[in-house]
Structure 1
């Protein structure tokens, strides 16, 4: 009987050892399919910061200044700062700002009445207050600058509430050109505006507008 009990004890030990070995060699249990992803507390806390850093590094910055006159002044400032010869004691950006206000008043608020005349157009440009002041500064200055351009004859005559601008030519093609441009097209003609703005900002004019 003792030998039988010994054999049974040895058999029990062998069975337990085999079960333990099988358990040790089996892969770890996987979570149920519907249990969702396992929590990643440490990594999930850091991933959003890495994502933001990558987005900031690759994002394209906006280029629009937000307002056209501000953008024109900003461009001039960059040019002045890039030029080692800029005399900052003469720079007059306020004069440029006032001129841009004049341009805004003339472009958006002045009233104009065109009349076809021999060889071109005669345009009554009128306004009041700040708009009138802009008309009185800009229209005569434009006429003086553009006289002779493309063979045009340009003349400004003062009115009680504005200016009369007459633009004529002898070439039939230029006559059609003048009439097609109209007031604001004529005022925008030529390439003198940008150099004029830079010279004004440099303080190279005695007048303010």
Structure 2
């Protein structure tokens, strides 16, 4: 009974906080002074997420570029980075993937609408090249008329289990090079040459 009362109290407090936050944000009109967003909350709360995923990634890159006195603004390509972030979003949300479990890994056939197919044909081979830098597995990416096929295999049972556990989307998100890749794209550098 005591646990039920505590849970109800927590739900009410959380709901009230959410209601206040939503009510406060509805006042965010065209006349809102965005300079006030940088002030520290007297209660010590500091927000770290500057918005939706792609916007947050762009915001983070802009902050890094502005802090770097060596940024060559003539080379900066935030539109290219934005297009890549849109591709990432489309891959995650639009790809229809059929995974076939192999004795030594997986084969993943990824398809989608016309825009998603183009995205898959751009992203999967490029990321497969990054995956291939890990010598614990063998990676093959093939373009098809309807998308791509990604095949990742290994001779090591522990790596095979990892491949199967990651699946297509986990493999596409692995190899922590994305932040470096995004910064290189934003600086107008050859992001696939690293």
Whether these two folds match at TM > 0.5 is: yes
| Residue of structure 1 in register with 2:174 after alignment | 189
Q: Quick one: which of 124, 127, 131 aligns to 1:146?
A: 131
Q: 1:112-148: per-residue Cα shift (whole Å, max 9, x none)?
A: 0001123100010011222111101000101112114
Q: Quick one: which of 117, 128, 138 aligns to 1:132?
A: 117
1:88-107 equivalence runs, <5 A = 88-107=73-92
Q: Quick one: which of 103, 108, 111 aligns to 1:118?
A: 103
3-state SS in 1 of match to 2:121: helix
Are 2:182 and 2:191, in contact at CA under 8 Å, matched by a contact in 1? Answer: no
| Residue of structure 2 in register with 1:21 after alignment | none
The alpha carbon displacement at 1:61 in A equals 5.6
* Superposition TM-score, scaled by structure 2 size: 0.74
Are 1:148 and 1:154, in contact at CA under 8 Å, matched by a contact in 2? Answer: no
Q: Does 2:27 correspond to 1:58? A: no
How many residues align? The count is 152
3-state SS in 1 of match to 2:159: helix
3-state SS in 2 of match to 1:58: coil
What's the C-alpha RMSD, in Å, of the aligned pairs?
Answer: 1.8
| Residue of structure 2 in register with 1:41 after alignment | none
Bigger Cα Rg:
1
Supply the distance in 2 between the matched residues of 1:68 and 1:206 (Cα, whole angstroms). Answer: 20
The alpha carbon displacement at 1:206 in A equals 8.0
1:27-66 equivalence runs, <5 A = 58=42, 60=45, 62-66=47-51
| Residue of structure 2 in register with 1:74 after alignment | 59
* Superposition TM-score, scaled by structure 1 size: 0.68
